[in-house]
Each structure stands twice: as C-alpha cells, then as structure tokens.
Chains A and B, each alone.
Chain A
Amino acid sequence: MTTTLAGGRAARRQTMRRIRPRRSPAVPLVVALWAGAAAVLWLWWDNTPSLADNTAKILAAGRITGLLAGYLMALVVLQMARVPALERRVGSDRVARWHAMSGRYTVCLVIAHVFLTMWAYALQSGRTLGDVVQQTIDSVNTLPDMGKAAIGTGLLFVIAFISIGGIRRRIPYDSWYHVHLLTYAAVFLTFWHQITTGNEFAVEPTAKTFWYGLYGAVTALVLWYRVITPVRLNLRHRMYVEAVIEETPGIVSVLIGGRKLHRMGAEAGHFFRWRFKAPGMRFSSHPYSLSAAPRPDMLRITVKAIGDHTSRLRELKPGTKVWAEGPYGALTAQRRSRGKVLLVAGGVGITPMRALFETLPGASGDITLLYRANSTQDLALWDELSAIADERGARLMYAVNSPDGERPDISAERLRQKLPDIDQHDVFLCGPPGFAQSVYEALRGAGVPARRIHHESFEM
C-alpha cells in the first residue's frame, strides 16, 4: 500500500514537471489591435485642423470609417494567414470566429465609408443627398484608382452576401470557399485608392510608410504561411493514403503514410487541413483531427460520414496522394495546468480526445475519458480506448441513450457524483455545438473554473 502511494506520488511529480501551461496570447493581441486602431484615428485627428460645417463633418466621418476599414481589412486577412501563434496558441476556432466577426464589422464600415464620402462630395458639388449615386459614378470616373476601388468594393459585397448565414448554408462549401478567396483580390484593388486619394496618406509620408508596412507585413505572412510553408511541408513528407478502415457504420479512419512524419511538429489534439488527390476532392481542403499520436511512418484521422466530402473518404484508394496543411489547433497538452485531466468527447469529437487519452502524461487514475454517443454501436474506437485505459490505469466512461431513446443525464450533480474532485481537473471538451454547450454549463455548475475548460468549436 505504502509503496503504491509513494510510487503514485513520484509518478505525479514526474508528470507535473512536464506540465508547463502556456498562456494564450489573445489578450496582448487584442490590446495591440486597439492600439493600432487608436494610431489610425490619430492619423485623422492630427491631419484635420477643424471642421467648419456639416459637410465637413460628414466627410470626416467618411474618412474615419474608411481609415478604420482599411486597417481592419489588413487584420481580417492576417487572421486567416495561418500564423502558428494564432492557430496553435489562440486556437484556430477562436481566430476563425474573430475573422468572421471583424469581417462583418469591416464590411459595415466600408458601406458607411462609401456612403458618407459620396454624400459629402455630392454636397460639396452643390448637389443633394439624392445625387449620391450620380456623384459616386463621377468620382469613380475622375479620381485616381477609384475604378479599381469600385471593383474591389463590389467583390467585397458579393463575398459578404454569400457569407450571410442563411445564404452560406445553401451554397456548397467548396463554391463558398473559392468565392471567399476573392477577398485577396478585393483587398488588393481597394488598397490603391487609400494611398492616392486618402487625405492622410497623400500629404503625410510617415502615414503612407506605416500603411505600406501594415499591408506589406500581412502580404508577407500570407505568402509565407499559406503558400511557402505548406509547399515545403508536403515536399518534405510526401503523404499518401495507406488504408481506409471502417470503424463503425458511418465512421471511417484513414491511415496516412509518408516520410519522417514525426518531424511535422504535430501533437495529439492537432488537426490538419487535408486535400486528397482523388476525383471530386482535389480542390477542397477539410480540417480533420489526428485520432492517434503521430508515428514516424503513420498518421491517422477518423471521420464521420456526414457530408459529401466525408462520404467520399470511404472510397479512397490506397496510394492516393495527400496534401496536408498544418498542424493547427490549440487543444493540446500545452493547455493543461493541472495534474488531473477529464476528457469529454461527443460523437466523432472522440478523435482528438483519443489521441490525448493515449499521450497526456499522467499517473494511474489521473486521466478520465467520458465518451458520449447515441448507442454502444456508435462508440467508435472503443476497443482501442479500453486497451489504452487498461494499460495506463486511466478511467473510461461512456454515456449513451437508453433503449427508449432517452438522453443520458450529464448534469453538474452527476459529474460530481462520478468524479468528486472534478473541480481539481483540467477539462478538454470536443463535440457538436449543442452538446459542448450543455456540458460546458454542467462543468461550470460542478465548480470547474472557465479557464480550465479547453474546447474547440468550429461553429461560427
């Protein structure tokens, strides 16, 4: 008895030595964002001595919205540049939500900028608010780079339109994605009028340099992390499909071979964006988590066949070439701050949890996995999980609907009853949005602080 206890303590100390939680850089990044916005507003403030009347005020509002839109446009692109600090430390899901949020806000600013500026110009030319359209046509024809800007703005509106929730759901993901890529063209086209007609930049070389620097840096990051890095990764590792295995009805695992796969920097909990060079799958990439810790010669993803793409995975032929971008995601051991860990998986959300369950350092009894599925037949990878649990002395629990279809009870009381020291745990959570939300609330109710609940959600 004593020996086991001592052994347990030693093992725990061993574990704790390897736990170095890394704080997400989200807060400093948001502070930098606001500081940048303040600097941009200062450009306007410094360059505007006075506002004599309403026309001048409307024009000034047009300039402010334009400056902010130009600034945010660069950041919206930056958020999708797949910068590792954002993807792996803030989390791809969170950055994607920031991107969607700031994208919507930017489009609103662009609308305000176009309308206010053209309204002010119309008033300056002795016209009225009703002549805004005519004024816009005149300005596009006479001012430098305004033709390009008009095309860019048009593109931006198309992109914003197809991204509206209801419309986006009706469009196949691939089409939506490819139209969305036109954002780069839109940003390029609208950039030039900012420099040539923007009052702040026409007269102030420092401001112009700052603007070129901002856009130049974003362009460099996009080229580096979205083009050069994936090309190098794939040239180095040359991945291909090794085998496709049906785990349960509707859930398949794809085994991916390649060279030196342990050198990709992938950890349990990471995902890659996969592109399979097979008919109908070549042009779209999809994010799937690794369902096992990476091995030098093998990676594995496990996918639920729900969409077009996922169903086609089943027909993949061994040998098919694979193009992967990654690793991305922040749901890794780096998030951990405690010795004890509870992993909660809903349905196919088991994939990253399965990899973590295998690799998270911990003594016997430190790691617990709670697996929720519709029925025991839907518990994909169950045999592997049991084997890991036996080997590591980890706890494995599942919750399925009762035969009459009733949902299992995952409430704060029930969690506390099963795991009395649940408030001492780090919790990793992955599953469908509704499930994740309800489990999150139950965990909070059971006394787990929010900073120790780590989850990834790709719902926007």
Chain B
Amino acid sequence: MRKSHPIRRFVLAGAATVSGIVLLLSLKPATDPASAQAAGGAAPPVAASPQGGAQAAGSGTVTGDAARTQYGAVQVRLTVAGGKITKAEAVQAPKGGQSDQVTANAVPKLNQAAVATQSADIDAVSGATYTSAGYKQSLQSAIDKANAAAGAGQGSGSQGSGGQGPGEQGSGSGAAQARTVTGAVSQTQYGPVQVRVTVSGGKITKAEAVKAPSGGQSTTVTANAVPKLNQAAVAAGSADIDAVSGATYTSAGYKESLQSALDQAGG
C-alpha cells in the first residue's frame, strides 16, 4: 500500500513512452539495407520454374506465385498453348463476407482480360482494387514462369523446336526476343519502389512495379497510381513520363527505378 502519485506516474509513463518510440524510430535506417544491396547489384534473375521445363514452348499450365492482398491471397493459373495464353483462372481468391461477391464479380472479368491482352497489363475491376492488384501480380509471376520455361527449353536446344542457336539471346530469362530487366530500388518516403520492364525489339512491351508502398493510405495511392505509370511507361518508351497527381513521391520513385531498368536493358 504505497502512496500513489498520479501526476508523477502520468509524467513518467508519458516520458517513458515518448522516449521509447523516439529510440525505436532513430534505430531504423533511412534506407533499406536489403534493397540498397539489391540496387547495387544486377537485377535479380527470374527463376525458371522447374515444372515449366517440361512444357517448354509447347502447351501446358503454369501457376503464378500467390499474391497476398489485404482480403486474402490471389493465385492465377494460366494455360499456355503455342506461346499464347489460352486460359486464365484464379485458383485462389479472397473469400468470406463481402469478398465472396467481389471475387465472383471480378475474377471472371480479370480472366477474360488476361486472355484478351496476353499480358498482365490489364485494367483493375472497379470495386475490386485489391483483388485486381493481387491478380495482376500473380498473373505476371505466371507469365514470367511461362517465359522462363520457354527460354529454358530453347536454351537447351534439345527439343529442336525453334531452331535458334543456344545463347543467341544472351539472357535465359526472356522468351523469344523479350528480355525482363528489373531496375534498382528507389526509396521514397512511403516505401521502396522497384520497376520491372519487359523489353522486346528495343521497345518496352510491359512495365510493372514489383515493389510499391503499401499499408494504410499508401495502398490506395499505389493501386491508383501504379497502373497509370505502367501504361505511361509503355506508351512513352522511356522514363520521361508524367507524375500521377496525388502520388508525387511514388511517381518520382517509379521514374527513377524505370530509368535504372532502361539503363540496364540498354547496356
């Protein structure tokens, strides 16, 4: 039964909390050590999927990596025939509560769009921003795997289907003339931005953000800005694109990482 001192306790608790938080904040570096390292090195190679090797350049199914969204995981499976996407489906999609309706509405549209555009550069379905973003991410991963499998098949040459000499394309990570290059990570105040471009015949055929700010308001900003920036990059064929309004920092980071990717692709 010690005497209580409410005011002293209040001041002590406040001071301890504030100094604890300030200490935690000051211990965090200004730039991400992991991504700084990645930025210094070359673009990470796109891993060839082991099961894809058997389906080189022919037909088969490829399953993309699962993309986590805040409502649940999205995972896309593609059926590829003759180098074209003939079917896209979601093997995982958000479920439960409102997500059931959203998924039922959005996934068929996304599947159609993927087949129609033959790329991950599809529009988000309105009202299903997060699911669309996850879908696109997993779709891209599936396309990358399919490409890698095709490249590996050609690289080995044993199938003899293409007749192209091994090593002619230099990089094993691209299918046909396409090459995927990932730019350096650009640090923005809301988080890292990293751009991957697919370059084919000297042109950007696809641009996407492999890293973008997320969490709280950033998720909304990213969902809005990144698709626009991707389109703009493909349209302009360079890093000279306009910033998306309301996403100044993300746009700047995007342009920086895009430029880095293009430099690597050119060099």
**A residues apposed to B, CB below 8 Å:** 41, 44-45, 48-53, 55-57, 59-61, 64-65, 101, 104-105, 108-109, 117, 121, 124-126, 139, 142-144, 196-199, 202-203, 205, 436-437, 440, 450, 453, 455, 457
Contacts and interface: CB of A to CB of B under 8 A. Distances in A.
Task: Give the top 5 A-B pairs by smallest Cβ distance, nearest first.
Answer: A199-B215, A49-B32, A202-B70, A50-B32, A440-B1
Interface in B147-187: 187
Interface centre among B9, B28, B32, B33 (most CB of A within 10 A): B28
Given A142-B220, A199-B214, A199-B215, A52 B1 contact: no
A450 B214 CA distance: 53
B30 interface: yes
B219 interface: yes
A145 to B, nearest CB: 11
B215 A124 contact: no
Interface size class of B (residues with CB under 8 A): 35 or more
Interface of B: 1, 3, 9-10, 13-14, 17, 21, 24-25, 28-35, 68, 70, 187-192, 214-221, 246, 248-249
From DSSP, what is the main secondary structure of chain A's interface residues?
helix
A113 to B, nearest CB: 11
Contact of A50 (B31, B214, B216, B221): B31
Contacts of A203: 68, 70, 214-215
A52 B215 contact: no
Nearest to A455: B1
B34 A49 contact: yes
A451 B219 CA distance: 54
A41 B27 CA distance: 13
Contacts of B190: 55-56, 124
A318 B192 CA distance: 74
A52 B13 CA distance: 28
B217 A453 contact: no
A318 B114 CA distance: 79
Given A48-B28, A142-B220, A143-B216, A65 B13 contact: no
Contacts of B34: 49
B8 to A, nearest CB: 13
B21 A117 contact: no
A56 B189 contact: yes
Contacts of B35: 49
Given A57-B25, A196-B70, A51 B30 contact: yes
A50 B30 contact: yes
B219 A202 contact: yes
Contacts of A144: 70
Contact of B187 (A50, A61, A108): A50
A158 B137 CA distance: 44
Nearest to A37: B20
A98 to B, nearest CB: 13
Contacts of A49: 32-35, 191-192
Contact of B31 (A41, A52, A105, A198): A52
B30 A143 contact: no
B180 to A, nearest CB: 24
Contact of A124 (B31, B32, B217): B217
Contact of A52 (B3, B9, B17, B187): B187
